[in-house]
Structure 1
Amino acid sequence: MSVKHALSRGLELGRSFFQLGLLKSGGRVAAKLRAERLRGAAGPSVRCAQPQAFLPHRYRYYRTSLRGLAAQLQAAGFRRFGGGSARNRAVFLAFGLGVGLIEQQLEEDRKSAATCHEIQAVFRKKRFEPPLKPLNLSGYKLDDYLIGNQIGKGSNAAVYEAAARFAPLHPTNTTKTPLVELEEKEEKHGRRSISCCSLRNFPLAIKMMWNFGAGSSSEAILKSMSQELVPAAPTAVKQEIEHLSLEGKFGVVPRRVTAHPNVVQVYRAFTADVPLLPGAQEEYPAVLPIRLNPHGLGNNRTLFLVMKNYPFTLRQYLEVCTPSRRHSSLMLLQLLEGVDHLCREGVAHRDLKSDNVLLEFDSDGCPRLVISDFGCCLTQRDTSLQLPFNSVWVNRGGNASLMAPEVATAVPGPAAVIDYSKADAWAVGAMAYEICGQPNPFYRAVGLESRKYHEYDLPLLPPTVPAEVDLVTRLLLRRNPQKRPSARVAANMLHLSLWGRRALSVQGSEATRRLVDWLLCQSAVVLLRGCRGPRGSTVEAELQRSFLSNLELEELRTAVGFLLYGQNNQDLCVMSA
């Protein structure tokens, strides 16, 4: 809407106020407004102080407020000045002009929001599809898989490398050979046994849950461990037992999250008798059943999950490597994208730590992170992520050291509720220290406690860390969740810092238009590049697609506001220094 059009609309509206208000008595106008208020849903009157189509439906609050303000101005004009004085005309004309300018801004906002929704619709049609075929998945029985050495162990499960019983020797060789024969041939020629950890020969990982009190029936096991099925693929469970897994903790049905590049996916889930796997007698003898260990406390059957085999956990990787500036930004961004995806689908992980994040590399050498281990997650039908906290026996989550302040300080009561909508984002902020090469401040090495720390107690990040990463980390670690950005807003901040710096160079009235123009150009570039990012990285391409498929104008503006706030604070610090 041009300025000329805004002026004409303002003059027209002011004239209508003037005619309807000054040519009638104040009592008739007040009676007219009272009658409209009483009629309510009966429909608008034939003549009113403000055109009904002036503002869109979503701005009904402003429409009502403006009508009330116009009535107050009219009444004040009658009481103080009487007839149609020049001053009274000026007041009404100025008011009409202001409303016209408001409409201009609202029209621009509507166009920008519509553009964001169009971009979002285009990229949501191209959903992420995990690589099922290259993994050579097998059936729903433990005998269908060859199990190798142990690669991980937690508080409720052990993870082993695995492969389908029949798999090709090389990706280019389509001849299927039993892996047992391959192992014998390797040993015969004096080479390393294939039973060691080898992603080429063991592309899968099997997670064996520890079953203490769930019983040995498939129904009881699936119901008790249903949280582990949250990242399960549509074909992970047999159709005849699909209905058995539809009961979770907290009395709600656990959600099945859609595939996402930064969330692990379970390809197969089944129950089977507990086998005597390598290291079981030494590593976890107490969880074995009596038939395998006379002193064992476990049940005969348990749940097995088949997933992709990743070479490292995030903790293992960070113990030997220090990511570059760009890789540290990309790693933090991937965690935020994964947390945002879970929050949008009504899932709070509640046990986010570097041990539960798996890592691999794309063809360009960029780390790809996936969130795993959903045994402590909270799942809900809606996306509020609020858990009634009426007793101290309610499970608040996993790792107490990385428990968000609003969770750690919650006090049980009849109407108490724990809000987990930003708890995982807080944990990502704590993990950012590890990604940037520093000790996690909420572990014993530093000694901060989430329930009573102060924000000025947080240690400084190294000066080599990008300014935007430092800003996002400190915002995520705010104690007050109302002042803390959501995972989506924090991810948008990193997206803009990595690929949209030019869009942030303009401020004022042209900022939104410049931002929308950049979004259109970015969408075209991502579509043309396909699965490759700006540096040939598939990880960056996945991140850009995830960003464009979740575009919301208000969240993007909030991210820009945080970035400008950070820049202004840095400028003030430089000036004071």
Structure 2
Amino acid sequence: MSVRQAIHRGLELGRSVFQLGLLKSGGRVAAKLRADRFRVGPSVRTVQPQAFLPSRYRYYRTSLRGLAAQLQAAGVRRWYGGGSPRNRAVLLAFGLGIGLIEQQLEDDRKSAATCQEIQDVFRKKKFTTPLKPFTSGYNLDDYLIGNQIGKGSNAAVYEAAARFAPPKQNNTNCSIVQLEEDTEEGNSTRSLTCCSLRNFPLAIKMMWNFGAGSSNEDILKSMSHELVPAGPLALKQENEQITLDGHFGVLPKRVSAHPNVIRVYRAFTADVPLLPGAQEEYPDVLPARLNPDGLGNNRTLFLVMKNYPCTLRQYLEVSTPTRRHASLMMLQLLEGVDHLCRQGIAHRDLKSDNVLVEFDSDGCPRLVITDFGCCLAQRDSSLELPFNSIWVNRGGNASLMAPEVATAIPGCGMVIDYCKADAWAVGTISFEIFGQNNPFYRPVGLESRNYQEKQLPPLPSSVPADVQLVIRFLLRRNPNKRPSARVAANMLHLSLWGRRALANQDSAGMKKLADWLLCQSAVVLLKGCSGPKGNTVEAELQRSFLSNLDLEDLRTAVGFLLYGRAHHQACILSA
């Protein structure tokens, strides 16, 4: 073996032995020798372990540099003191290899510190709603109610305006968003203009009350999960003091404001009114005073929110987003789901009907997750639901129920983990966003409980390769092999804005990526100070990405991307 080969072998040996954790005892001896040799008094300073390394490596955080120095010194001494050239070269290279590992760890420490600093800067910039804060509006009489704009299985939604804050009239021209709706009687066209939204900037959701009683306390207890996206002033002060014993906790969990999650501005109870279309659309849920055959109670819960032009399903029926807009739409859903998961909330009914759409100044669709009637929001922020009986509610929309939820079997001590269930649903909705039928709806009609990943239909060739990778990863049956919403979002962020940073990148080296993050942070901060461009969907997404930076999440996202690209390239070569 030549000296060059020996050095190369020593370098590889140093790395592999360290990674296998076999140097622990040797490291302890070396550290003890070093301490005994250089100790001249009581230690004044103790090096603290770094939090970014797993606990099994905590010893190397303090002793690795010294161990590398010991081995290199021993190699030099043997080089001049005798011994075979091969052994001397291997020992010296072994020490050099460990030194290189220490350098890599130092780069990781710097990258982790960079991520933390960027995160701190952007987390200080809280998202604020574009609507002015309400000063009143806790009664139904405070609102002018217009036409019905939506109806689901447990509520009807109407356009509305606040009487205490009449909208300003503006004679400027407005762009038109047309939504074609097929009815049983024939085709009808409903046009929502920005003028219409200005006249009715709010939406009121009237819940259907069958068995909650008619008292404030009973209604709020029964429907507390609807208050998850409620703002801090949504309820009257006296109602905030009511112990709200909802389905999943003593107090209703509240999610903080986010650009991709609906915000409830007011929540109050009132007598059920006879609104337009009530007798035709939902006669059975009306109280007996409005319909003798009705089964509903006299009072119910009303939620006041912002009025949006359409749902995602309605938008996709009449529009085809560009490739970039479609990628940004998918990314917004992942950001919204990640925001919910971080606060211990699982939506459990994610579908295109429960996503609202508006448009930014550049015409890009802004997506907002709504309808939290089936959500899981437990007190302990856990996304695990005890599943000891078939009567436990798994959530809504069985067609888009993640495999681990659909195949769960009730039993003593069994739980359903929802931490990646909504991310799986985003993968299915992505087919709709990119112009395909949802594979879990007819005509394809796959079932989440027994589908095979190879049965998923191919995406159009126009869909970017990295986006296709993310969708395929999200639809993996095994949640342990599926990325979280945060990691999947990071993959799309890196694909959209960090391609150069990913060039020649491996899953271990993050220094180049950290440099790119610093440049990206400066660009986003400058955009935020430059006027309207700082309020676009892309700017919001970039701020969200930077406010949630985590070194391990980034490394995992890079690993998924590199693995997916390598696997795709291998498939092409084999074909």
TM interval, shorter chain, is 0.7 to 0.9
Query: Which position in structure 1 is the counterpart of 2:498?
Result: 500
The answer as to whether partners of 1:531 and 1:541 remain within 8 angstroms in 2 is no
Shift of 1:512: 1.1
146 and 349 in structure 1: CA distance in 2 versus 1, 3 angstrom threshold: same
Q: Deviations over 1:543-566 (max 9, x none)?
A: 000000000011111111111122
3-state DSSP class of the match of 2:264?
coil
Query: Which position in structure 2 is the counterpart of 1:4?
Result: none
Query: Which position in structure 2 is the counterpart of 1:120?
Result: 119
Shift of 1:139: 1.4
- Report 1:127-142 matches (<5 A): 127-133=126-132, 138-142=136-140
The answer as to whether partners of 2:387 and 2:414 remain within 8 angstroms in 1 is yes
346 and 567 in structure 1: CA distance in 2 versus 1, 3 angstrom threshold: same
Taking the aligned partners of 1:155 and 1:410, their CA distance within structure 2 comes to 25
Normalising by structure 2, report the TM-score: 0.82
Taking the aligned partners of 2:530 and 2:545, their CA distance within structure 1 comes to 15
Tell me if 1:542 matches 2:557: no
534 and 476 in structure 1: CA distance in 2 versus 1, 3 angstrom threshold: farther
Shift of 1:86: 5.6
The answer as to whether partners of 2:204 and 2:305 remain within 8 angstroms in 1 is yes
3-state DSSP class of the match of 1:365?
coil
Shift of 1:356: 0.3
Q: Deviations over 1:327-378 (max 9, x none)?
A: 1000000000000000001100000000000001111110000000001000
Q: Which ranges in structure 1 are unaligned for 5 or more consecutive residues?
A: 1-6, 25-43, 75-83, 174-191
Taking the aligned partners of 1:509 and 1:484, their CA distance within structure 2 comes to 18
Taking the aligned partners of 2:463 and 2:349, their CA distance within structure 1 comes to 26
Query: Which position in structure 2 is the counterpart of 1:553?
Result: 551
Query: Which position in structure 2 is the counterpart of 1:284?
Result: 282
Equivalent residue in structure 1 for 2:56, among 43, 58, 61: 61
Taking the aligned partners of 1:450 and 1:293, their CA distance within structure 2 comes to 41
205 and 452 in structure 1: CA distance in 2 versus 1, 3 angstrom threshold: same
Tell me if 1:244 matches 2:242: yes
AA at the equivalent of 1:126: K
Query: Which position in structure 1 is the counterpart of 2:482?
Result: 484
Query: Which position in structure 1 is the counterpart of 2:74?
Result: none
Query: Which position in structure 2 is the counterpart of 1:388?
Result: 386
Taking the aligned partners of 2:31 and 2:436, their CA distance within structure 1 comes to 70
Taking the aligned partners of 1:116 and 1:501, their CA distance within structure 2 comes to 18
- Report 1:406-425 matches (<5 A): 406-425=404-423
The answer as to whether partners of 2:334 and 2:488 remain within 8 angstroms in 1 is yes
AA at the equivalent of 1:120: Q
Taking the aligned partners of 1:509 and 1:330, their CA distance within structure 2 comes to 25
Shift of 1:62: 2.1
Query: Which position in structure 2 is the counterpart of 1:103?
Result: 102
Q: Deviations over 1:154-184 (max 9, x none)?
A: 00000001101254453569xxxxxxxxxxx
560 and 199 in structure 1: CA distance in 2 versus 1, 3 angstrom threshold: same
Taking the aligned partners of 1:547 and 1:343, their CA distance within structure 2 comes to 15
Q: Deviations over 1:423-474 (max 9, x none)?
A: 0000000000000111101012211000000000000011111112211111
- Report 1:59-458 matches (<5 A): 59=53, 61-64=56-59, 97-133=96-132, 138-168=136-166, 170=168, 198-244=196-242, 246-458=244-456
Query: Which position in structure 2 is the counterpart of 1:30?
Result: none
200 and 172 in structure 1: CA distance in 2 versus 1, 3 angstrom threshold: closer
The answer as to whether partners of 2:334 and 2:489 remain within 8 angstroms in 1 is yes
Equivalent residue in structure 1 for 2:460, among 459, 462, 467: 462
411 and 85 in structure 1: CA distance in 2 versus 1, 3 angstrom threshold: farther
515 and 284 in structure 1: CA distance in 2 versus 1, 3 angstrom threshold: same
The answer as to whether partners of 2:108 and 2:511 remain within 8 angstroms in 1 is no
Taking the aligned partners of 1:137 and 1:319, their CA distance within structure 2 comes to 38
The answer as to whether partners of 2:384 and 2:418 remain within 8 angstroms in 1 is yes
Q: Deviations over 1:396-438 (max 9, x none)?
A: 0000000000000000001100000000000000000000111
Shift of 1:574: 2.9
Taking the aligned partners of 2:194 and 2:145, their CA distance within structure 1 comes to 10
AA at the equivalent of 1:61: R
The answer as to whether partners of 1:211 and 1:287 remain within 8 angstroms in 2 is yes
Taking the aligned partners of 2:477 and 2:564, their CA distance within structure 1 comes to 18
Shift of 1:500: 0.8
Taking the aligned partners of 2:192 and 2:335, their CA distance within structure 1 comes to 36
The answer as to whether partners of 1:18 and 1:92 remain within 8 angstroms in 2 is no
18 and 315 in structure 1: CA distance in 2 versus 1, 3 angstrom threshold: closer
3-state DSSP class of the match of 1:347?
coil
Shift of 1:383: 3.9
The answer as to whether partners of 1:149 and 1:196 remain within 8 angstroms in 2 is no
441 and 302 in structure 1: CA distance in 2 versus 1, 3 angstrom threshold: same
Segment of structure 1 superposing worse, 194-203 or 515-524: 194-203
The answer as to whether partners of 2:528 and 2:535 remain within 8 angstroms in 1 is no
Q: Deviations over 1:50-101 (max 9, x none)?
A: x974954665532458999x9xxx9xxxxxxxxx996899888766555443
The answer as to whether partners of 2:249 and 2:378 remain within 8 angstroms in 1 is no
357 and 63 in structure 1: CA distance in 2 versus 1, 3 angstrom threshold: closer
The answer as to whether partners of 1:222 and 1:303 remain within 8 angstroms in 2 is yes
AA at the equivalent of 2:407: T
The answer as to whether partners of 2:329 and 2:366 remain within 8 angstroms in 1 is yes
Shift of 1:568: 1.5
Taking the aligned partners of 1:425 and 1:90, their CA distance within structure 2 comes to 51
Shift of 1:110: 1.1
How big is the alpha-carbon RMSD for the aligned residues of Structure 1 and Structure 2? Answer: 3.6
Taking the aligned partners of 1:470 and 1:306, their CA distance within structure 2 comes to 38
AA at the equivalent of 1:374: F
98 and 534 in structure 1: CA distance in 2 versus 1, 3 angstrom threshold: farther
535 and 268 in structure 1: CA distance in 2 versus 1, 3 angstrom threshold: closer
Query: Which position in structure 1 is the counterpart of 2:8?
Result: none
The answer as to whether partners of 2:507 and 2:555 remain within 8 angstroms in 1 is no
The answer as to whether partners of 1:253 and 1:379 remain within 8 angstroms in 2 is no
AA at the equivalent of 1:417: V
Tell me if 1:522 matches 2:520: yes
The answer as to whether partners of 1:149 and 1:197 remain within 8 angstroms in 2 is no
The answer as to whether partners of 1:18 and 1:89 remain within 8 angstroms in 2 is no
Normalising by structure 1, report the TM-score: 0.81
The answer as to whether partners of 2:225 and 2:374 remain within 8 angstroms in 1 is yes
Q: Deviations over 1:513-541 (max 9, x none)?
A: 11001000000000001177997761111
Taking the aligned partners of 1:500 and 1:419, their CA distance within structure 2 comes to 32
Q: Percent identity?
A: 74
Taking the aligned partners of 1:264 and 1:258, their CA distance within structure 2 comes to 10
The answer as to whether partners of 1:262 and 1:371 remain within 8 angstroms in 2 is yes
Taking the aligned partners of 1:205 and 1:392, their CA distance within structure 2 comes to 36
148 and 172 in structure 1: CA distance in 2 versus 1, 3 angstrom threshold: closer
Segment of structure 1 superposing worse, 100-109 or 285-294: 100-109
AA at the equivalent of 1:434: E
3-state DSSP class of the match of 1:379?
coil
